Chain A
Amino acid sequence: MDLKSHISVKNLNVYYGAEHALKNINIDIPDRRITAIIGPSGCGKSTLLKSFNRLVDSIEGVKVTGEVSVDGENIYGPDVEITHIRKKMGLLSQRPFPLPMSIYDNVAYGPRIHGTKNRKVLDETVEKYLKIAHLWDEVKNRLNKPASKLSIGQQQRLCLARGLAVEPEIILGDEPTSALDPKSSRAIEERFMELKNDYTIVIVTHILRQAKRLADYVVFLYLGELIEHGPAREIFENPKEEMTKEYIKGIIS
């Protein structure tokens, strides 16, 4: 597998006050592949994901050292405009958080804040991404209803459409299916499989089976340290580290 790198992490350290949450991480996240970050609870998966779009340093008391480069640009560099970095990435959180506005406005939110005003363009964008998220048929007759009226599974697909509408290159998902029922989870997983030809996808998951189903590349963290990373098949079938073996067998969790 020839892997071109999209996000490149060099000597990344993250501290929450005195807590050293990520210890000297070095990885390359491959372009247009699904990368799964796995590891036991509290090992720093969410922290690593949030350091990709710099949501981590908006928390008070957080210190970040090292580099994260996206398309070759260090996003922790001094002259970086943070909103431009974030526009390159869509985020799906553990629970869907629809914005307090209509379904239509949720999807149009991103394009609008980046300056699109033309109603026709917005209409097309909303329809396009709701279709990609497989939500269009369910909501096309009630686009002006509050997004909070949707079911949780629908809300998560809405959040996917909302993230895609800013035309990012990367999709980040922090356990994006953990609050969903099996059918909605499958719907999200299917969307990821469709989207991976066009986007670099990074998901955090603690469901090993999900990682096996989706991932092309796997990153295994333990207590803030990067233990092993590599193509999914190698990690699952032939892990080099003892710790990875034990985690995959379910001995440590």
Chain B
Amino acid sequence: MFEKRIFIDRTAEKLTFLMASLSCILLVIIAWGLLKRSFPIMEEKSLADLLLTSSWKPLKGNFGFLPFIMGSLYVTAVAMMIAVPFSILTSIYLSEYAGRRIKNAAEPVIDLLAGIPSVVYGVWGILTVVPFVKYLAGLFGVFTTGYSVLSAGIVLAIMIFPIIINLSTEIFQSIPLELRNASLSLGATKWQTVKFVLIPKAMPGIIAAIVLGLSRAFGETMAVLMVAGNVAQTPGSLFDPAYPLPALIANNYGEMLSIPLYDSALLFAAFILLGIVLVFNIISKIILLRITRNTQ
């Protein structure tokens, strides 16, 4: 019996280690696969040429990714600007102000929101958000089809609400009651406690939640593809159409493969996508480190 227990213990360590390394290896394999398939285009063109020019004419051999990169960045930025304040305030309400009954009612609704397939968000976006944006632009005297950065940003924001809300609510609730009491007992109001104590305390977790939402928004394909307009041009305003990277890949991969380098170009796009998400993660780690060093 004794021996078996120790044997299981050792096996457990090895098995968990194996599984943990497997997920790391998987990332490397995916990155390597994408990189390898994008070699043909990288041999033809300089990196600057690919990343910083705007002409996208596959038939002529012009592959400028700038409009797609900018499209992705704009759409994501708009989504984050809407989603972050809304989600953080919602989670503060849920964890600090709402009574148990409201909390119990809100949680399943938020979970449900997270479970809606992205194509449904896309259809809903076409039916309501696109006409709304078209109307809104009209008020400013701008003509647009409605398929735009703003539409995509709104739809994306709604898709990532539940991610950020759930995570940050959990983070606020993990803060010990006594820390709140420490601030309240000095005569602080509830909002002062939230602002000066709870938000700083939760900040590392909130940033992690935001980055998760950001990565999700950045890579989201279906819903964005349906409402963004998909014009290969760097958007000049909120009402212009955009063509984010995931939409580019999903719309075109597997078609027109007779065009030289097209396949390689699309896999290069996938590689950029992965690279940018990785950069987000690294930046957030650095921010996290600085915050924890200064406050926690």
Q: Tell me, in angstroms, the Cα distance from A114 to B187 when the chains sit together.
A: 8
Tell me whether B185 and A146 are in contact (CB under 8 A). Answer: no
Interface residues on B, range: 20 to 34
Asked whether A113 and B185 contact (CB < 8 A) given A95-B178, A97-B178, A100-B295, the answer is no
Answer yes or no: A87 CB below 8 A from chain B CBs. yes
What string of 1s and 0s marks CB contacts (under 8 Å) between B176-190 and chain A? 101101111111110
Q: Tell me, in angstroms, the Cα distance from A100 to B99 when the chains sit together.
A: 26
Answer yes or no: B200 CB below 8 A from chain A CBs. yes
Tell me whether B294 and A99 are in contact (CB under 8 A). Answer: no
B155 CB to closest chain A CB (Å) equals 36
Q: How many A-B pairs with Cβ below 8 Å?
A: 73
> Given B100, B187, B200, B296, which contacts A84 in the complex, CB threshold below 8 Å?
B187
Tell me whether B176 and A97 are in contact (CB under 8 A). Answer: yes
Answer yes or no: A91 CB below 8 A from chain B CBs. yes
Measured between beta carbons, the chain B residues less than 8 angstroms from A83 are 187-189
Q: Tell me, in angstroms, the Cα distance from A15 to B181 when the chains sit together.
A: 19
A58-B184, A109-B188, A113-B186 given. 10 additional CB < 8 A pairs? A91-B181, A93-B181, A97-B179, A97-B181, A100-B201, A100-B296, A101-B196, A101-B295, A113-B196, A166-B187
B290 CB to closest chain A CB (Å) equals 12
B interface residues, Cβ below 8 angstroms from A = 99-100, 176, 178-179, 181-189, 192, 196-197, 200-201, 293-296
A interface residues, Cβ below 8 angstroms from B = 53, 55, 58, 60, 83-84, 86-87, 89-91, 93-95, 97, 99-101, 109-110, 113-114, 146, 148, 159, 162-163, 166, 172
A152 CB to closest chain B CB (Å) equals 14
Tell me whether A101 and B182 are in contact (CB under 8 A). Answer: no
Q: Tell me, in angstroms, the Cα distance from A166 to B183 when the chains sit together.
A: 12
Tell me whether A87 and B187 are in contact (CB under 8 A). Answer: yes
